[in-house]
Homo-oligomer: A and B are copies of this chain.
Amino acid sequence: MKITILGNNSALPAYGRYPTAQIVEINEQLFLMDCGEGAQMRMQQFGIRSTRINHIFISHLHGDHFYGLVGFVSSLSLWGREKELAVYCPAEIKAFLQLQLKWDLGFQIIYHIISDAERTVLIDEEKFQVSCFPVYHSVPTHGFKFIEKKRKRILLPNKVQEYEVPKYFYKNLTEGEDYIMKNGDVVKNDWVTKDGHPNKVYVFCADSRYAPEICDDLREADIVYHESTYLENDQHKATERFHSTAREAASIARQSDAKKLLLGHFSSKYKDLQPFLDEASSVFEPVELAIEGSVFEL
């Protein structure tokens, strides 16, 4: 799994920083998380093959999280897309797109409307799962959780040789099958393999006030992205506007036993972002800034 940051700023673009958008890549599939204005330009700039995006997730109805969507969908159409596109979003997004995209796009948009405060699995495939959960902002807002399933078992080289399992059957072993020898004896799978790598988990927490009630959804994630619109000395603004400070984001990561924290959604009042890193790392480590163009691998 790989995360590419397209936009990391809050509502107003500033200092060359764009509003929220991220790409999650799992197994050659790309998922677009929010789509602030200019997201498609950032994709071009960072070499994202956006025709490989089949799923888009919109966290909430604030413009800095979706104003780039109509332009991006329009571009997909102009590029000649035929494959259907799934959009997971509040109901109003469907109305916005339908009003502005009245021609025949050449492909179908399948809308999956997310209801207020819904917690559900949105996609469950063999290799990954995506779910949503409520976070706490001034309008109904959702976080998204990506699980890359790493279920394959790992071969024990000495053991497969010892039991003389033929090589053509190795793939079946990694998928958990037992091997039956020509004489009918069974080589139990767990004699010749061990547990595979644990699942990889990325959690994207869009705009939210400090809300420890979300920690269960973040539990032990490999990377948690949590907004940190403000620094601690603007705590009153954060509270008033249902946003978080860097310290609060770090506290959520600590309480969730996350393995790494990514900070983003910086207010346009801050030119220098280093203080966000300093403030958060006094509470939780490791922490990194979601700098646009940077890629985080899990």
Which residues does A use to contact B, with CB under 8 Å? 11-14, 16, 18-19, 37-38, 40-41, 44-45, 63-64, 67-68, 70-71, 74-75, 78-79, 95-96, 99-100
Complex Cα–Cα for A75 and B38 (A) = 14
* Also in contact, A13 and B96, with CB within 8 A (given A63-B71, A63-B74): no
Q: Among B11, B38, B44, B79, which residue has its beta carbon within 8 angstroms of that of A37?
A: B38
| Contact B63 A67, beta carbon cutoff 8 Å | no
Q: Taking the nearest CB of chain B, how far is it from the CB of A92, in angstroms?
A: 8
| Min CB–CB distance A267 → chain B (angstroms) | 11
Instruction: Report whether B12 and A75 are in contact in the complex, using a CB–CB cutoff of 8 Å.
Output: yes
A100 touches B12 (CB 8 A): no
Shortest beta-carbon distance from A19 to chain B in Å = 8
Q: Do A45 and B70 touch across chains, with their CB atoms under 8 A apart? A: no
Residues of B within 8 A of A64 (CB): 71, 74
CB pair B37–A13 under 8 Å, yes or no, is no
Contacts of A63 in B (CB 8 A): 70-71, 74, 100
Residues of chain B within 8 A of A16, CB atoms compared: 41, 44-45
Contacts of A100 in B (CB 8 A): 63, 96
Which residues of chain B are within 8 angstroms of A96 by Cβ–Cβ distance?
A: 99-100
A40 to chain B, nearest CB (A): 6
